[in-house]
Amino acid sequence: MPDRMNVESFNLDHRTVAAPYIRLADTKTLPAGDVLSKYDVRFAQPNVAHLEMPVVHSLEHLFAEHSRNHSDRVLDFSPMGCQTGFYLMLEGTWSDDEVQQLVADTLQDVLAADEVPAANEVQCGWGANHTLAGAQDAARAFLAERAGWSQVQA
């Protein structure tokens, strides 16, 4: 294994983290000076637990839609292939408190939702693969651990 890999998360020892957490994974300054901040929003303990795909899919839709009600600096909310969390991409630099508040406010919206946005054949490539209840259960569990969101390592 190389000393350092190009992908930031490949350099993270997944055995030593303690999910759930939110951590700044990377920042990039673009040629014009714009700053991008990528956050690791980890719902499940790596190599121990994972979110089922309908839950991942529904959280992606719900968070992507509702987070933009709280900030116009949300660029993307993408699921991790390992199904343990998401990458939240934001414009600019953010404090830990600001990111945590954005996530908390958005997950409260998830709990209040009565449907998964765009969960249909017209707006989604797999419109039948959703579960509002599963997404709400995951959001509720993540919110219950908010006091520990800054603690990444076990």
Global pTM value: 0.96
Quick one: pLDDT at residue 1?
Answer: 57
pLDDT in tens, the chain (154 residues): 568 999 888 989 999 999 999 999 999 999 999 999 999 999 999 999 999 999 999 999 999 999 999 999 999 999 999 999 999 999 999 999 999 999 999 999 999 999 999 999 999 999 999 999 999 999 999 999 999 999 999 8
Distance between CA atoms of residues 109 and 98, nearest Å: 17
State how far the Cα of 89 lies from the Cα of 86, in Å rounded to an integer: 10
Q: How far is CA 135 from CA 10, 41, 48, 113, 128, in A?
A: 27, 15, 19, 10, 14
130-144: per-residue pLDDT in tens? 999 999 999 999 999
Domains of the chain as residue ranges with CATH: 17-148 (3.30.1360.80)
Contact indicator for 64, 57 with CB cutoff of 8 Å: no
Identify whether the C-beta of residue 66 lies closer than 8 Å to the C-beta of residue 108. Answer: no
* Segment 28-58, tens digit of pLDDT: 999 999 999 999 999 999 999 999 999 999 9
Name the amino acid, one letter, at 11. N
DSSP code at position 138: H
Residue 3: predicted pLDDT: 83
74: β partners = 90
- 8 Å CB contact between 107 and 82: no
